[in-house]
Amino acid sequence: MKYRFELIVSLKEGLLDPQGKAVQEALPTLGWDNVSEVRVGKHIELLVESDSRMEARSQVEEMARKFLSNPVIEDFVILVADTVQPAKGPR
Amino acid sequence: MKYRFELIVSLKEGLLDPQGKAVQEALPTLGWDNVSEVRVGKHIELLVESDSRMEARSQVEEMARKFLSNPVIEDFVILVADTVQPAKGPR
Amino acid sequence: MTGRQPAPTEDLLHRRLGLTDQEFDAIVDKLGRGPNDTELAMFAAMWSEHCSYKSSKVHLRSLPTRGPQVLVGPGQDAGVVALGEGVACVFKIESHSHPSAVEPFQGAATGVGGIIRDVLSMGARPVALLDPLRFGPLQDARNRYLFAGVVAGIGQYGNSIGVPTVGGEVKFAPCHSANPTVNVMCVGLAAADELIHSPKGGAGNVLVLIGASTGRDGIGGVSVLASRTLDQDAHRARPSVQIGDPFEEKLLIEACLELARRGLLDGLQDLGGAGLTCAVSETAARRGVGVDLDIDEVPLREPGMEPFEVLTSESQERMLAIVRPDDVGAVREVCAKWGLSARAVGKLRGGGQMFVRHQGRVVAQVPAKALAEEGPEYERPASAPPWLVRVREDDPAMQPVPVSLEEAFYSVLGAPGVASKRWVHEQYDSLVQGGTVLGPGADAAVIRLEGTIRAVAVSTDGNGRYGLLDPYLGGAHAVAEAARNVATVGARPLAITNCLNFGNPERAEVMWSFAEAVRGIGDACRAINTPVTGGNVSFYNESGDSAVYPTPVVGMVGVLDDYRLLVRPGFPSGGLVIYVLGRTLPELGGSEYGEAVLGKVSGRPPRLDLDAEGRLHRLLHECARQDLLASAHDLSDGGLAVALAESSIAGGLGFTVSVQDDGLDPAVALFSESASRVLVTARPGREGDVEQLAAVLQIPITRLGLTGGSRLEFAGLFDVALSDAVVVHEGTLPRLMSAQRVAV
Amino acid sequence: MKPRVAVVTFPGSLDDRDALRAVALMGGDPVAAWHADRDLRGADAVILPGGFSYGDYLRTGAIARFAPVMAAVREYADEGRPVLGVCNGFQILCEVGLLPGALIRNRTLSFVCRWIHVRTEGPTEASAGLAGGEVLQVPIKHGEGQFVASQEEMGRIEAQGLVAMRYCAPDGTIDERFNPNGSAHNIAGLHNETGNVLGMMPHPEHAVDPDLGPTGGHAVFHWLLSAARDRVHA
Ligand SMILES: Nc1ncnc2c1ncn2[C@@H]1O[C@H](COP(=O)(O)OP(=O)(O)O)[C@@H](O)[C@H]1O
Ligand SMILES: [Mg+2]
């Protein structure tokens, strides 16, 4: 069976996020002055072949910990694909 | 009121995704040979001050279209923050 | 195979693919039958303006291409000149303006990738990039977005593959708002006896496709992106946008060079416009053989691709190697070592036919030469635009100076096209490979040849205002200025490549300006003895009623026998005698002063005495050889005032000069752009030698004053603090671009 | 005998040939090593050069970290042999945990290529690091050179004297205005606790040949070669 996962990798809370800061500073000049706490991270999507969802998930977690994120500066969350609700933005 | 939103910005389908390709090609050498269709995109989190969730959301959509994504090569999805289910990965 | 007769409707396939009815008839003639859809797509790609040069060929033929220094002239992927000591310099320039207008970052990035592969296909290691760029005024947010994106894209790609970007240009004009111009030049080096030539014959040899897999991106890129004017909804061209993968390119460079070094290649061809169709048909046509191509062997990135898609996809980072059957295994091994895919996709064969097979069937059968060499050729109507006479009559030299000379000086020095380009070139790695003796910020960049004291000097130049006002002079000045820049650092100009950026060639005034520019380039190259080794034509740089200025851009390479003798632009110390070489005339037509101070692009460009230009280069070369000069900087946009300021800023040292010795009007003395002039300082005690050499070569030499102090003093006119001049010169682009919001 | 210095080439390494050339120019014996190798060919010291290993797409150094050669590099570090990581090499050393902290995108978000000054910090008594108190003119060229670490980690780095060099004014003054990428505490380079591992964002290998510009890289190569020589004689 193949299982789809999504991962979000983002800089740890205490670290200044240069991309988030740049976006936040730009938004007011573009007319949006009501936005705060912007953070920019990575979104990783992948398909895992495995016998069970549980097994696949624990592999994804290991990949995330060992490779897809750097624990010194980053946190990650795993979203099980089908719990994500896409909204009406064009896709 | 402040509303939290998350956005996922990813390369349009059919376009080469060098990041995803690099990750995918690295995984087997690290011992995971059961992963395919890796795509890497951006995850943007922000807090919008607004009178209503609807209003905030339509602003986020406009920001995404005009600034946070590049419509020539990217698509985006807006996730309403509280519909996202964080899984048990460390955060 | 079934021939297909066109139905008598408006919606004919060939027209939708950009072929005219006459061109369609010519295809039927060549095949002796109607083409099928796959064949038609192949012809459409190969016979597009971009690939076939159908509007420009008749003019380009007039260019001088021979000389003892030329090892490979036009017609190959890149030109080659000999630098001495057995080293060959491979170089070429190309436009990626249309893709950059649609998506600036990726458009420019993939432009870098494309030109690198041209140089690589000759077996040379790419050692330098230069990027002549043109945008609309930076007051406009869209122009800032394009500028920032293009620079970041060139940086990302060049920096990631380890090829230093060492020079270029950035100019601004309203005509570039809708049509940014993005040219990229690449210089490579190889041992002359290890160049990859494309030999005749080779039937039985295998075509090995190396590198990235083939996707649907860039399908129709040739006909849609490069050969049709950008219309209102430029974003309909979207699916053709390419994403570059510089890492793959870096691996391609190393793998191909290793293949060449080990003698495993019978030929090497890059995949660019028109993708596989072009690479395969050109290879076969050049060698006078036929070819069998099995597109089922092409690694695909997406399922279900149609044959025509595989054949015309312009997916990046691919090369085609021609390999003797016995060497295929070794080629695969080298590619595997570098982590690259290498697939045998076909074989050369006797005859001249290109067969394309798909799922066991022949889906196209076309004479290779018909695709690659027998495209249409047009001598399009050409006539000068009627408005030109009036604009030329309006001579800026006849106008009163509307502001103080000091204000005029600051306006010119702070004009975005003149101001320091540090904001741009600090985003580029100019040092990698360890050969950069002189990087961005000098008149020409200088790259040394490993293990020798020899170096190659290179500069790109073009002046759109001159091109607009007199395209003949625009072409000639581009050559002269590029050669002068190379000579100013002490090198001997050798040969050029050129990128011709023009509007729609189906309009007579565009065609006229094109023909004139080519004539100007040809005359200048003959006079200065720098043959043309190749180039690129970019037409259709227009949208709505806005076309780019006729903009020939010249990339010049020269050789420096001993790079330790090179001459830099900055004043190195105080008390040096400052001279200007060459004669200053009241020539403000098309000048920076005209645009920045008077707000007009009018008059006649400066005249050009090509004989004097050549003598000036010899003078500079001789002065450098005898180590007579402490600094040298050529005069171009903004004239003497700007050259003085730049030498002063570069050296961190002021000057006192008197610029009006021969009774010139002050604005003329300061801002005239008379050609063939260079600002120099003599080494202490060598003033007499410089003056004497100038006299021998009949180059006027005028003593202007001395270096020293912390002010820029134009005696009797005005003076400013060096620190204020620095703020204006260095601060202009950062200030204008601070309003640009970085995209994530 | 000349000390042998291995320079590792990963796919995507860019300044590897420059590092080899610099080693030779500075009196060492350069040895080319390959990412897939499991040993460093008996070299006395090793350099991880600049570039974009494996494209550096996911995160700088993320893939290089797992290269077979890295086991040997770690052994060198543990045995006290000199290890120099330049730019991408520094990023890799942080990623594998041989040095603390990490390097993220420059504050400006743009790549920057510029000649800058760094001031070296003295090594602690116990360590054999680069000599302190010198102002070196060296070039930087990177898009991800902003050094970050958690607050506790930062405290430890300073307390243990692990900072090898900081961005500074030409006269050596440490000043935020001369910080080109937003690095915490102006940090341009770090040592490990024993001083035999040095990671730095500036490129010493591009600052050794007087024909090409300033020679601030000499100090770094002197350190590397003399530490390697000590190993030869030990
Ligand atoms: N786009 C660019 N990329 C790199 N270097 C550039 C770029 N634009 C300008 N430069 C550099 O800035 C310096 C000044 O450019 P320019 O005024 O066009 O020189 P010149 O008038 O001598 O031809 C040159 O060294 C040039 O190579
Ligand atoms: Mg110049």
Over residues C593-644, the pLDDT tens digits come to: 999 999 999 999 999 999 999 999 999 999 999 999 999 999 999 999 999 9
Residue D234: per-residue pLDDT: 56
Kindly give, in sequence order, each residue whose CB lies less than 8 Å from that of residue C612, ignoring residues fewer than 6 positions away. Answer: C582, C676, C698, C699
What is the share, in percent, of chain C residues with pLDDT greater than 70? Answer: 95
Q: How far is the CA of C483 from the centre of ligand 2 (A)?
A: 10
Among D57, D65, D95, most B C-beta atoms within 10 A, so best to mutate, is D57
Tokens of A8: 């979000």
Per DSSP, which regions of D10-68 are E strands? 29-34, 45-48
Contact B16 C301 (CB under 8 A): yes
Among C157, C243, C302, most B C-beta atoms within 10 A, so best to mutate, is C243
Q: What is the CA D120 to chain-centroid distance, rounded?
A: 13
Among candidates C741, C742, C744 on the partner chain, residue whose Cβ is nearest the Cβ of A30: C741
| CA neighbor of B6 nearest in space, from B55, B78, B68, B56 | B78
Pair C690, C682: CB distance under 8 Å: yes
Q: How far is the CA of C485 from the centre of ligand 2 (A)?
A: 5
Model confidence over C671-690: pLDDT tens digits? 999 999 999 999 999 999 99
Tell me C314's DSSP state: -
Give D208→chain A minimum CA distance, Å.
Answer: 33
Q: Return the ligand 1 atom nearest residue C633 CA.
A: 22
C-alpha Rg value of chain A to the nearest Å: 16
Kindly give, in sequence order, each residue whose CB lies less than 8 Å from that of residue D152, ignoring residues fewer than 6 positions away. Answer: none
C-alpha–C-alpha distance, residues A40 and C584, integer Å: 57
Ligand 1 pocket, Cβ-based, cut-off 6 angstroms? C 131, 133, 165, 167-170, 421, 424-425, 440-443, 461, 485, 634, 636-637
C-alpha–C-alpha distance, residues D150 and B87, integer Å: 24
Q: Is the dihedral of CA D54, D56, D57, D58 positive or negative?
A: positive
Residue C241: per-residue pLDDT: 80
Kindly give, in sequence order, each residue whose CB lies less than 8 Å from that of residue C6, ignoring residues fewer than 6 positions away. Answer: C12, C13, C14, C24, C34
Tell me C694's DSSP state: H
C-alpha–C-alpha distance, residues C713 and C665, integer Å: 17
| CA neighbor of D97 nearest in space, from D228, D204, D190 | D190
Q: Report yes or no: C156 at the B interface, CB cutoff 8 Å.
A: no
Confidence category of residue C169, pLDDT binned at 50, 70, 90? very high
Q: Which of C14, C59, C96, C98 is catalytic?
A: C96
Q: Return the ligand 1 atom nearest residue C441 CA.
A: 25
Residue C598: per-residue pLDDT: 96
Q: How far is the CA of C82 from the centre of ligand 2 (A)?
A: 24
Q: Return the ligand 1 atom nearest residue C425 CA.
A: 4
Average pLDDT on D164-172 reads: 97
Tokens of C19: 């072929």
Kindly give, in sequence order, each residue whose CB lies less than 8 Å from that of residue C390, ignoring residues fewer than 6 positions away. Answer: none
C-alpha–C-alpha distance, residues D88 and D50, integer Å: 5
C-alpha–C-alpha distance, residues C412 and C725, integer Å: 11
SS3 C277: helix
Higher pLDDT, C74 or B34: B34
Average pLDDT on C353-362 reads: 96
Average pLDDT on B63-90 reads: 74
Tell me C273's DSSP state: T
Q: Is the dihedral of CA C46, C47, C48, C53 positive or negative?
A: positive
State yes or no: pLDDT of C109 exceeds 70.
yes
Average pLDDT on C407-430 reads: 98
Contact C741 A26 (CB under 8 A): yes
Residue C740: per-residue pLDDT: 75
Tokens of B20: 């995803």
Average pLDDT on C395-422 reads: 96
The per-residue DSSP string of C444-499 comes to SEEEEPTTSS-EEEEEEE--HHHHHH-HHHHHHHHHHHHHHHHHHTTPEEEEEEEE
| CA neighbor of C641 nearest in space, from C381, C354, C401 | C401
Which of B45-49, C231-235, C447-451, D183-187 bottoms out in mean pLDDT, i.e. has the lowest?
A: C231-235
At CA C721, angle to CA C716 and CA C726, rounded to 5? Answer: 125
Kindly give, in sequence order, each residue whose CB lies less than 8 Å from that of residue C545, ignoring residues fewer than 6 positions away. Answer: none
Max CA pair span of chain D: 46
Q: How far is the CA of C553 from the centre of ligand 1 (A)?
A: 13
C-alpha Rg value of chain B to the nearest Å: 16
Q: How many CB atoms lie within 10 A of CB C235?
A: 12
Model confidence over A47-67: pLDDT tens digits? 999 988 899 999 999 999 999
Tell me C74's DSSP state: B
Residue C303: per-residue pLDDT: 85
Contact B19 D66 (CB under 8 A): no
Give the H/E segment covering residue D166.
strand D163-168
Average pLDDT on C216-241 reads: 51
State yes or no: pLDDT of C8 exceeds 70.
no
Closest C-chain CA to B44: C744
Confidence category of residue D126, pLDDT binned at 50, 70, 90? low
Q: Report yes or no: D169 at the A interface, CB cutoff 8 Å.
A: no
For the ranges A21-35, C276-290, C730-744, the one whose mean pLDDT is highest: C276-290
C592: left (phi over 0), alpha (psi -120 to 50) or beta: alpha
How far lies B54's CA from each of B2, B3, B57, B60, B61, in Å? 12, 10, 5, 10, 11
Tokens of C317: 């980072």
At CA C20, angle to CA C14 and CA C22, rounded to 5? Answer: 110
Residue C75: per-residue pLDDT: 81
Q: Report yes or no: B40 at the D interface, CB cutoff 8 Å.
A: yes
Residue C237: per-residue pLDDT: 41
The per-residue DSSP string of C379-445 comes to -------TTHHHHHH--GGGSPPSS-HHHHHHHHHTSTTTS--HHHHTTS---TTS-EEE-BTBSSE
C-alpha–C-alpha distance, residues C98 and C503, integer Å: 12
State yes or no: pLDDT of D173 exceeds 70.
yes
Give the H/E segment covering residue C70.
strand C70-72
C-alpha–C-alpha distance, residues C368 and C31, integer Å: 11
C-alpha–C-alpha distance, residues D20 and C235, integer Å: 47
Which chain C residues are closer than 8 Å to B72 by Cβ?
102-103, 235, 238, 241
Residue C9: per-residue pLDDT: 47
Q: Give me the phi and psi of C378, to 5 degrees please.
A: -120, 140
Which chain A residues are closer than 8 Å to D153 by Cβ?
72
State yes or no: pLDDT of D215 exceeds 50.
yes
Model confidence over C463-500: pLDDT tens digits? 999 999 999 999 999 999 999 999 999 999 999 999 99
Q: How far is the CA of D196 from the centre of ligand 1 (A)?
A: 42
Which chain A residues are closer than 8 Å to B40 by Cβ?
42-45
Q: Is the dihedral of CA C542, C547, C550, C555 positive or negative?
A: negative
Which chain D residues are closer than 8 Å to C564 by Cβ?
211
C-alpha–C-alpha distance, residues C638 and C588, integer Å: 9
Among A23, A24, A40, A43, most C C-beta atoms within 10 A, so best to mutate, is A23
Q: Report yes or no: A29 at the B interface, CB cutoff 8 Å.
A: no
Residue D76: per-residue pLDDT: 96
Q: Which residue has the tokens 């006896």?
A: C193
Contact C744 A30 (CB under 8 A): no
Q: Are strands C318-323 and C267-270 parallel, antiparallel or unpaired?
A: antiparallel
Per DSSP, which regions of C125-259 are E strands? 125-135, 165-172, 181-191, 206-211
Pair C291, C347: CB distance under 8 Å: yes
Confidence category of residue C743, pLDDT binned at 50, 70, 90? low
Name residues 13-32 of chain D within 8 A of A (Cβ): none
Closest Cα to atom 9, ligand 1: which residue?
C169
Which of C13-17, C125-129, D19-23 bottoms out in mean pLDDT, i.e. has the lowest?
A: C13-17
Q: What is the CA C643 to chain-centroid distance, rounded?
A: 24
C98: annotated active-site residue: no
- Would you tell me the crossing angle of helices C639-651 and C722-737 to the nearest 10 degrees? 100
Kindly give, in sequence order, each residue whose CB lies less than 8 Å from that of residue C392, ignoring residues fewer than 6 positions away. Answer: C469, C470, C589, C602, C603, C604
Q: Which residue has the tokens 């955060």?
A: B91
Closest D-chain CA to A68: D58
Average pLDDT on D178-186 reads: 97
Q: How many CB atoms lie within 10 A of CB B51?
A: 8
Q: Mean pLDDT score of chain A, rounded to an integer? A: 86
Give the number of the ligand closest to the Cα of residue C632. Answer: 2
Model confidence over A18-36: pLDDT tens digits? 999 999 989 998 899 999 9
Which chain D residues are closer than 8 Å to C339 by Cβ?
11
State yes or no: pLDDT of C738 exceeds 70.
yes
Give the number of the ligand closest to the Cα of residue C418. Answer: 1
C-alpha–C-alpha distance, residues C40 and C225, integer Å: 18
C-alpha–C-alpha distance, residues C82 and C108, integer Å: 30
Q: Mean pLDDT score of chain D, rounded to an integer? A: 94
The one-letter amino acid at C575: G
Q: Mean pLDDT score of chain C, rounded to an integer? A: 93
Active site amino acids of D? 87, 203, 205
The per-residue DSSP string of A15-75 comes to S--HHHHHHHHHHHHTT--SEEEEEEEEEEEEEEE-S-HHHHHHHHHHHIIIIIS-TTTEE
Ligand 1, residues C100, C135, C166, C421: which to mutate, most atoms within 8 A of Cβ?
A: C421
